[in-house]
Structure 1
Amino acid sequence: MISVEEARRRILEGLSATPAETVPLAMGWNRILARPVRSRVTQPPADVSAMDGYAVRAAEALEGARLTVIGVAPAGHPFAGTVGPGEAVRIFTGAFVPPGADAILLQEDAAAGDGQVRVTETVRPGRWIRARGLDFATGEELLPAGKRLTARDIGLAAAANHAWLAVHRAPRIGILATGDEIALPGDPIPEGGIVSSNAHALAALVRASGGDPLVLPIAPDDREAIAAAAVAARACDMLVTTGGASVGDHDLVQAALGPQGFALDFWQIAMRPGKPLIWGRLGATPVLGLPGNPVSAMVCAVLFLIPAIARLSGLPGEPPRTIRALAGAPLAANDRRFDHLRATLATGADGQPVATPFPQQDSSMLKVLSRAEGLILRAPLAPALPAGAAVEVIPLGDLGI
């Protein structure tokens, strides 16, 4: 068995980003830039007013001075003339500052009437003017390649006059659940069988991680059926199987894929839940074989599939973020496998996070997983800890799953 860190390293080192595609700006959210975004315009394109008021010459806009109003400059309609000695132009937020003016007299600091404006508070040069190029200039790199685009980034790209963006194609992830005993939700449940949850849970996780899931029909415990389904998924950027990864007579994923050219990299990780995990390639297609137990499958997906999708999307593929918390209950000494305890998260009296493990940690208990807010990390051979001891936790809410 290999460690969690070694498994993640070997999975990521064999993956590369998907090709670039061009998408409309509105479809760029949460995608990974394949090429930098450089501005096509200067913003603002000229000196503009930051407030409603009067464009003036600061040297003359002294308290008590009276200036003649010679025109109006709304946003989008620049004043055509020049502000000369003793003159002012009524101006509104976002309007170009007319030539000759070097400050804005706030309307709150002015008294207007009879075509004139009286200054009630002295104005400093440059006051309330946003200089040309204050935000960015033509040709400036605004967003680097490899960045996951936020709504704020979309706004910046729009302001930089980009209607289209070059992003990495969303990775296509084939999901194949195996087993005679499972049925899709809503379908007849076979005698002695259960409803399959893994494929749907993994599809949701793939979407949350920026991938494009392809849920394949359930494959029975039959080598030919598993092989046919896997071969059909070769067009995907990765194939994820669930079930059939252990050593039982009906755990057939490796046996079914071997004759199709499957090359195994590793099998079995020193972790709980999720020991029986397969990683290899079917031709050029990476294959991640997850355990059939639903909690094991999801914990493995958090640790390995989410970083893999990130790497395929054009990101480095970092491990899940961890936080430091206090144990909300005593923790038993751990054995030789890295443990991931499902836990709730709360804020303690001193403001620190408190992670309390559920009393039952069976890898089949989806209700516990659904209610869990974090995974307490317990290293191999970690000693027993009392309540209140410091622990490392993966907060599941960060992952959007």
Structure 2
Amino acid sequence: MSACGHEKDLISIDEAIQSILNTAKKLSTETIFVKNSLSRYLSAPVYSPVNLPGFDQSAVDGYALCTSHADAQHQSYVLMGEIRAGVASDLALQEGQAIRIFTGGKLPQGTTTIARQEIVEVVSDTQIRITDPLMAHTDIRRRGEELAEGQSLAEAGQFINIGSLAALSMAGVQTISVFRQPKVAVVITGDEIALDQNSLSEAQVFDANGPLLKAWFQQNAIQAEIIHVSDQSQAVTACFEQLKSKYDLIITTGGVSVGDYDFVRPSSFDAGFEQIFWKVKQKPGKPLYFAQYQNPEHHCYLLGLPGNPAAVYVCMQVYGKLLIDALQGQQPKTDTWFTAKLTHGMKEDKRERFIRMQASIVKGELKVSSLAKQQSHMLSNLMQANCLVRIPAEVKPEAEMLVSGLFI
């Protein structure tokens, strides 16, 4: 048998990534309310329906003045009234007059500048005086200075985070067109997995993959159904038959290698799936499996992850995220991976590796340090890890070597 790193038919990490991108088809689009759009991707550009601001307004609490003086310092003004934010007013200014105004208040006609309250001396109920230098047009927010009506506010593909949701809301956008999120089923295989502590036998382990993947999808604002299936060929095939027409994506853990009880791949064939690739020259996660099922009415993808939890975690961060994004019209972004320096040397390996590491700033430079317990069945170092670092195959890394990393 070939050594693990030289096994035939292994594809590279980059080939696996490209295969996913070449295979995944965008899902349909839907129109939703902006208030419900967090963590979605725009499928069409958005243009501002209004001017921002919608009217000339004060940027501070102070006084609106009408003056022909280039510098209003030491000038006195007759106080004509008050304008609160959000309250319409017919008040107007003439030369030498002032109106008390608050942040966001609509400027009265005739305003030439705003005097913030800190530089205003209140002489009487009807008179104020400016104590500091004050130029024309100070502290005025002009109509449309941020956005003009019809101006592009967001492009197709924009990810809606808290900030972009707020920006859309501030512009009065009510609904947007987004890509539909995939319907996801997570299938946990393995008779060695105990569903709870009460059912744990001496030969079983606690389920880490189910909670891991449920939390992963929750973090990415996607609902996923978690299903456990026994290590029986008929059971796995029946599961795929039931899921393939209802879901856009099936994620499996375990059962993708070459053991006597690894039924995911052959059962997927029995259920009508077509293999895109199987086995990647990487560590952890070599037996990664990707397939698709398609008919005129529906398309379903299957991403088969190894059973070891560290491999599940790594493959979801790299390939699962890539596939989920591709289904929502996204291409990999060049700034997703960062560059950093290793703080130490490492052993070389025949396979390219994703190493759980800790990134930190040292004297102004981003550096990464490997953590102990990197075996694919171990997860405890995720308590300290904040990134995955990609280490090339058959290269002996040295201290200060530049490497690529992905924050997790």
Shift, 1:273, TM fit? 1.0
Matching residue of 1:20: 29
User: After alignment, is 8-17 or 102-111 more displaced?
Assistant: 102-111
What is the aligned partner in structure 2 of residue 240 from structure 1?
Answer: 251
| C-alpha deviation, 1:160, in angstroms | 1.1
Q: TM-score, normalised by structure 2?
A: 0.89
**Which of 378, 383, 393 pairs up with 2:391?**
378
State the Cα deviation string for residues 114-138 of structure 1 (Å, max 9, x = none).
5122233453221111111112122
Trace 1:222-371 onto structure 2 (pairs within 5 A): 222-234=232-244, 235-283=246-294, 284-318=299-333, 321-335=336-350, 337-348=351-362, 350-371=363-384
Which among 40, 49, 56 is matched to residue 65 of structure 2? 56
1:146–1:38 Cα change, 3 Å:
same
**Does the CA-based 8 Å contact 2:233-2:267 persist in structure 1?**
yes
Alignment match of 1:86 (pick from 87, 90, 96): 96
More moved, 50-59 vs 311-320? 311-320
Report if the CA contact (8 A) 1:268-1:275 is conserved. yes
Letter in 2 for 1:239: I
Aligned: 1:76 with 2:89:
no
Letter in 2 for 1:269: V
RMSD (CA atoms): 2.2
Change (3 A) 1:224 1:24: same
Supply the distance in 1 between the matched residues of 2:125 and 2:318 (Cα, whole angstroms): 73
Aligned-residue offset at 1:219: 1.4
Mapped to 2, the partners of 1:71 and 1:85 lie a distance apart of 15
Inter-partner Cα distance in structure 1 for 2:387 and 2:267? 35
Whether the 8 Å CA contact 2:34–2:176 is kept in 1: the answer is yes
Is the 2:57–2:142 contact (alpha carbons within 8 Å) kept by the matching residues of 1?
Answer: yes
DSSP 3-state at the match of 1:340:
strand
Question: What aligned pairs does 1:162-173 form with structure 2 within 5 A after superposition?
Answer: 162-173=173-184
Alignment CA distance shift 1:319-1:292 (3 Å): farther
1:338 shift after superposition: 0.8
The aligned residue for residue 33 of structure 1 is 42
**Aligned-partner SS, 1:326:** strand
Secondary structure of 2:287's aligned partner: coil
State how far apart, in whole Å, the 2-side matches of 1:366 and 1:66 are.
Answer: 72
Measure, in 1, the Cα distance between the counterparts of 2:50 and 2:334.
38
**Pair 187,241 (structure 1): closer, same or farther in 2 beyond 3 Å:** farther
Q: Which amino acid aligns with 1:341?
A: I
Give the Cα separation in 2 of the matches to 1:273 and 1:48. 59
Offset from partner CA, 1:218-243 (integer Å, 9 cap, x none): 21121110011112222211111111
The 8 Å contact of residues 244 and 251 in structure 1, kept in 2 or not, is answered as yes
Task: Give the Å deviation of 1:191.
Answer: 5.1
Maintained 8 Å contact 1:344/1:357:
yes
Q: Which amino acid aligns with 2:281?
A: A
Partner AA of 1:47 in structure 2: D
Structure 1: any 5+ residue segments left out of the alignment?
none
Instruction: Specify the SS of the correspondent of 2:169.
Output: helix
1:122-201 aligned within 5 A: 122-186=133-197, 188-190=199-201, 192-201=203-212
Stretch moving more, 134-143 or 120-129: 120-129
Work out the percentage of aligned pairs sharing the same amino acid: 28
- Distance in 2 (alpha carbons) for counterparts of 1:68 and 1:278: 79
TM-score relative to the length of structure 1: 0.90
Q: CA deviation at 1:192?
A: 2.1
Number of the residue aligned with 2:17:
8
**1:185-204 CA-partner distances (Å, limit 9, x unpaired):** 34512452222221221222
**Take 2:135 and 2:358, find their aligned partners in 1: how far apart are those partners?**
57
Q: CA deviation at 1:146?
A: 1.0
Q: Distance in 2 between matches of 1:351 and 1:43?
A: 39
Cα contact 1:303–1:320 (8 A) shared by 2: no
Is the CA contact 1:49–1:128 (under 8 Å) kept in the aligned structure 2? yes
Asked if the contact 1:2–1:269 (Cα under 8 Å) also holds between the matched residues in 2, the reply is yes
CA distance in 1, matches of 2:19, 2:154: 30
Secondary structure of 2:229 counterpart: coil
Q: Is the 8 A contact 1:38 1:160 kept in 2?
A: no
Deviation at 1:30, TM superposition (A): 1.8
Distance (whole Å) between structure 2 residues aligned to residue 77 and residue 182 of structure 1? 64
Per-residue deviation, 1:316:
1.4
1:280 is paired with a residue whose SS is: strand
User: Cα gap change, 1:115/1:346 in structure 2, threshold over 3 Å: closer, same or farther?
Assistant: closer
Displacement of 1:358 = 3.2
In the alignment, does 2:130 pair up with 1:116? no
Tell me the CA shift for residue 253 of structure 1. Answer: 1.2
Further displaced range: 293-302 or 63-72 = 63-72
Please tell me whether the aligned partners of residues 110 and 119 of structure 1 are also in contact (alpha carbons under 8 angstroms): yes
Question: Is contact 2:79–2:125 with CA below 8 Å preserved after alignment?
Answer: no
Determine if contact 2:72/2:135 at 8 Å carries over to the other structure: no
Trace 1:200-239 onto structure 2 (pairs within 5 A). Answer: 200-216=211-227, 218-234=228-244, 235-239=246-250
